[in-house]
């Protein structure tokens, strides 16, 4: 069964939008049958776990898909042609929370919804940040709020429902596993 091959034999663009494109794929299964699958194509995104002056820096912003505000780690699309993901992450960190990271450490990447989308999010940890002021892009960022949660208080946020965004939870758990959210002994 592991050697069975599926083959895309046709693609039709159903919708091309500002952020995503929806395609209808015709896929030939190993037994020869042809099935249709709807796929959302996404340019990918970056996200950053930023710890500055003993606090995890988060952003509360409106998300139209949910029609309410969400608290998240800084993030954004890889939508600048030719831009390296590290540079995209640095750009988003400045835009959203006004921090410039002297170094970014790769935590990992993950597929958000493989059943219907090819979106991949790359998550970095910001090391040695300096405040440079926000450079907001877009109306949601304009009305967003920077939130700073002390590192020793972030675990309850991760576990009690205050954070529900997948990229934020994954990034924070990866940062925790990497020892980046450890607090000094008192």
Which one from 23, 36, 141, 153 is the annotated catalytic residue?
141
Closest CA relative to residue 19, chosen from 86, 85, 78: 78
List, in sequence order, the alpha helices (H) in 39-84: none
Contact by Cβ (8 Å): 35, 16: no
Q: CA quadruple 19, 23, 28, 33: dihedral positive or negative? A: positive
Bridge partners of residue 46, in order along the sequence: 76, 122
Of 106, 155, 152, the closest CA to residue 127 belongs to 106
177 catalytic residue (yes or no): no
Structure tokens at 32: 């020869």
Are 39 and 118 within 8 A, CB to CB?
yes
Residue whose C-alpha is closest to residue 12's, from 35, 47, 38: 38
Q: Which residues are catalytic, by number?
A: 141
């Amino acid at each position: 069964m592991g050697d069975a091959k599926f083959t895309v034999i046709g693609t039709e663009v159903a919708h091309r939008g500002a952020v995503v494109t929806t395609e209808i794929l015709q896929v030939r299964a190993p037994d020869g049958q042809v099935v249709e699958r709807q796929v959302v194509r996404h340019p990918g995104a970056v996200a950053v776990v930023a710890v500055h002056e003993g606090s995890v820096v988060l952003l509360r912003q409106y998300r139209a898909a949910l029609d309410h505000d969400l608290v998240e780690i800084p993030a954004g699309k890889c939508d600048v042609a030719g831009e390296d993901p590290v540079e995209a992450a640095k750009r988003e960190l400045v835009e959203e929370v006004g921090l410039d990271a002297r170094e970014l450490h790769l935590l990992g990447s993950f597929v958000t919804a493989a059943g219907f989308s090819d979106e991949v999010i790359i998550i970095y940890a910001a090391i040695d940040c300096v405040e440079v002021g926000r450079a907001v892009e877009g109306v949601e960022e304009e009305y967003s709020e920077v939130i700073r949660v002390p590192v020793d208080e972030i675990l309850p946020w991760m576990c009690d429902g205050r954070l529900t965004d997948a990229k934020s939870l994954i990034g924070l758990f990866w940062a925790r596993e990497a020892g980046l959210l450890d607090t000094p002994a008192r």
